[in-house]
């Protein structure tokens, strides 16, 4: 009876030991699996960190480039606006000169008419035709000078209007350039953000 009891106890003990060994083996397998998962997570984390650093550098470069281009665009726009203001002032000066010259032309025409009357009267009472010829030459010279001044002012007005039109167009192009710059910056940031999100997703 004692031997039977001892054998039963021994078998029970061996069975318990086997169960413990099975539990240990199962635990070791679980530990190995968790270690593998940990290594995978560490690798994924390092990849994400590398991607984050790369994208941060890329975004910083994009922002620096955008700031530089924005400064250039603003400087260009300011230059065009100054040029446009200058051309407007010059054009206004030419228009004022033309107005003054127009008034002067009316006065000179009145003087011409008076001189013609004098010449007519002189030619009817004086036989010397040299006086009348001198008056005609004087009037012709005054008219020629006046026509020349008008022509020069008209040419100057045309030149200034062309320059003003070019400056206005350049200013509009500068504004369009700034708009395109803003769109490019937005798209660059959006692409970088999308790339980061894709890298972050498992």
Question: For the segment 155-190, what is each residue's pLDDT rounded down to a tens digit?
Answer: 777 777 777 677 667 666 666 666 566 666 656 555
Which residues are CB-contacts of 199 (< 8 A; sequence separation ≥ 6)? 47, 48, 51, 55
Q: What are phi and psi of 201, to 5 degrees?
A: -70, 135
If you average pLDDT over residues 68-82, what whole number do you get?
79
pLDDT of residue 158: 78
pLDDT of residue 188: 59
pLDDT of residue 196: 47
pLDDT of residue 135: 64
How many structural domains compose the chain? 1
CA distance 179 to 152: 41
Output Rg (C-alpha) for the chain, integer angstroms.
49
Domain that holds residue 195: 2-200
CB of 122 within 8 A of CB of 133?
no
CA distance 171 to 177: 10
Residue 82's CB is within 10 A of a number of other CB atoms, namely 11
If you average pLDDT over residues 29-48, what whole number do you get?
90
Question: Higher confidence at residue 150 or residue 202?
Answer: 150
- Which CATH number goes with the domain that contains 9? 1.10.287
pLDDT-based confidence at 109, cuts 50/70/90?
A: low
Whether residue 8 is predicted with pLDDT greater than 60 in this model: the reply is yes
If you average pLDDT over residues 19-47, what whole number do you get?
89
């Amino acid at each position: 009876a004692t031997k039977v009891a001892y054998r039963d106890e021994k078998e029970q003990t061996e069975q318990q030991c086997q169960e413990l060994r099975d539990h240990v083996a199962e635990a070791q397998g679980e530990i190995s699996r968790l270690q593998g998962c940990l290594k995978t997570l560490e690798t994924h984390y390092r990849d994400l960190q590398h991607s984050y650093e790369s994208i941060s550098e890329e975004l910083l470069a994009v922002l620096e480039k955008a700031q530089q281009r924005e400064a250039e665009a603003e400087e260009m726009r300011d230059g065009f606006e100054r040029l446009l203001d200058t051309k407007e002032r010059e054009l206004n000066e030419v228009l004022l000169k033309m107005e003054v010259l127009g008034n002067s032309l009316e006065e000179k025409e009145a003087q011409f008419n008076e001189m013609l009357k004098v010449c007519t009267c002189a030619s009817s009472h004086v036989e010397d035709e040299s006086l009348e010829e001198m008056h005609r030459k004087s009037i012709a010279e005054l008219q020629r000078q006046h026509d020349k001044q008008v022509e020069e002012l008209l040419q100057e007005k045309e030149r200034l209007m062309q320059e003003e039109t070019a400056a206005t167009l350049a200013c509009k192009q500068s504004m369009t350039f700034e708009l395109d710059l803003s769109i490019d910056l937005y798209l660059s940031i959006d692409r970088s953000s999308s790339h980061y999100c894709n890298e972050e997703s498992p």
